[in-house]
């Protein structure tokens, strides 16, 4: 096939290996590309650096979401569905590849792609890394060089055609999604589908936490978002109580109480989790805090304390019988 320069893109050559079908897809902000890729060095051996097929998952990127390797969006925009093409890209376009590859490899290994990364722009992070953790990527990071990308485009989806990942949503989309997710969670609770409800509450919390990360802690914008987060976390914890995930409840309520040490509902849910895992002293302390902070919950606290006392007495009797049985069998 004939090699041609991509229109208006310096330092890029394209070779079509297998023709696609139809017209070039119409793209808009939020469109999603799904494709396989292979990255090769521009050396005699054409050394393979990465291959998404070996990783076992196709790649996805969202148009207009500042993917670190911006040239990929340009390359994919020149392709038809089903097309396989080879692109030679000069070093001016490949300087960020080591960081992109590092993240993709971590995901394929089941690790956090942002582990150890500071909250700075991509170029800033580049200088923070002494090593990517991969020798071949360290070499690319030290000496950026031309790379060859072989891409096969499977599909291009409009924003409305797929479920947007939280990270791909704009601020307005995240804020709009939260009450919808909250309502869906409540509806699932009424149907006693607690695992599904917990997932809805958790997704809403993630949306808000992402927005909070851009605000200064304890200032007005952060506090407004925190006020939305708190009831969602409490609802999530209630679902986990119903599912018997008591240590999950202890973790999330404790984290919440570190910021809001006057939240009676958080103490109440934590007390119930402590009681469920036989932490009697901690449960009693939390129940007493509830009654002090919110006298209207005193009756509920009294009922829980009575049940806790009965459960603990029953446990002590059973433990004593078990120990006596062990003692007698050892004597025999």
Decide if 4-157 and 171-310 have a common fold: no
CATH code for the domain defined by 4-157 = 3.10.50.40
Count other Cβ atoms within 10 Å, centred on residue 251: 15
The per-residue pLDDT for range 277-319, each reduced to its tens digit, is 889 999 999 999 999 999 999 999 999 999 988 988 888 888 7
> For the chain, what is the mean pLDDT?
84
Please, which pLDDT band fits residue 201 given cuts at 50, 70 and 90? very high
What is the model's pLDDT at position 142? 85
Instruction: Report the distance separating Cα 172 and Cα 320, nearest Å.
Output: 60
Q: Which residues contact 11 (CB under 8 A, 6 or more apart)?
A: 89, 90, 91, 92, 93
Residue extents of the structural domains in the chain? 4-157, 171-310
Residue-wise over 56-69: b if at least 16 C-beta within 10 A, else e?
Answer: eeebebbbeeebbb
The pLDDT of residue 329 is: 55
Residues 6+ apart with CB under 8 A from 54: none
Nearest Cα to Cα of residue 284 among 298, 303, 269, 305: 305
Distance CA 38, CA 239 (A): 44
At which residue do the structure tokens 């969670």 appear? 185
Q: pTM of whole model > 0.95?
A: no
Architecture of the domain made up of 171-310? Alpha Horseshoe (1.25)
Taking 50 as the threshold, does the pLDDT of residue 128 lie above it? no
């Amino acid at each position: 096939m004939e090699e041609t320069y991509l229109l208006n893109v310096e330092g890029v050559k394209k070779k079509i290996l297998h023709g696609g079908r139809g017209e070039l897809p119409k793209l808009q902000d939020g469109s999603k590309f799904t494709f396989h890729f292979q990255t090769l060095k521009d050396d005699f051996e054409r050394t393979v650096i990465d291959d998404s097929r070996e990783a076992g998952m196709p790649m996805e990127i969202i148009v207009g979401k500042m993917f670190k390797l911006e040239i990929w969006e340009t390359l994919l925009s020149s392709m038809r569905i089903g097309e396989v093409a080879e692109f030679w890209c000069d070093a001016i376009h490949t300087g960020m590849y080591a960081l992109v590859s590092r993240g993709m490899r971590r995901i394929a290994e089941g690790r956090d792609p942002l582990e150890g990364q500071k909250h700075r722009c991509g170029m800033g992070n580049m200088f923070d890394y002494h090593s990517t953790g991969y020798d071949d990527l360290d070499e690319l990071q030290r000496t950026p060089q031309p790379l060859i990308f072989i891409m096969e485009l499977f599909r291009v989806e409009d924003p409305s055609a797929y479920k947007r990942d939280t990270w791909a949503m704009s601020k307005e989309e995240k804020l709009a999604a939260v009450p919808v997710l909250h309502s869906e969670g409540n509806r699932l609770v009424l149907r006693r589908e607690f695992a599904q409800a917990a997932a809805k509450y958790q997704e809403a919390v993630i949306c808000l936490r992402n927005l909070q990360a851009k605000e200064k802690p304890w200032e007005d914008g952060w506090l407004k978002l925190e006020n939305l987060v708190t009831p969602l976390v409490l609802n999530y914890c209630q679902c986990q109580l119903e599912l018997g995930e008591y240590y999950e409840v202890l973790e999330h309520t404790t984290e919440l109480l570190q910021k809001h040490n006057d939240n009676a509902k958080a103490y109440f849910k934590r007390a119930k989790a402590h009681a469920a895992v036989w932490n009697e002293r901690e449960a009693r302390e939390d129940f007493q805090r509830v009654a002090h902070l919110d006298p209207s919950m005193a009756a509920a606290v009294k009922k829980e304390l009575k049940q806790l006392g009965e459960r603990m007495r029953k446990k002590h009797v059973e433990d004593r019988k078990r120990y006596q049985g062990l003692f007698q069998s050892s004597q025999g």
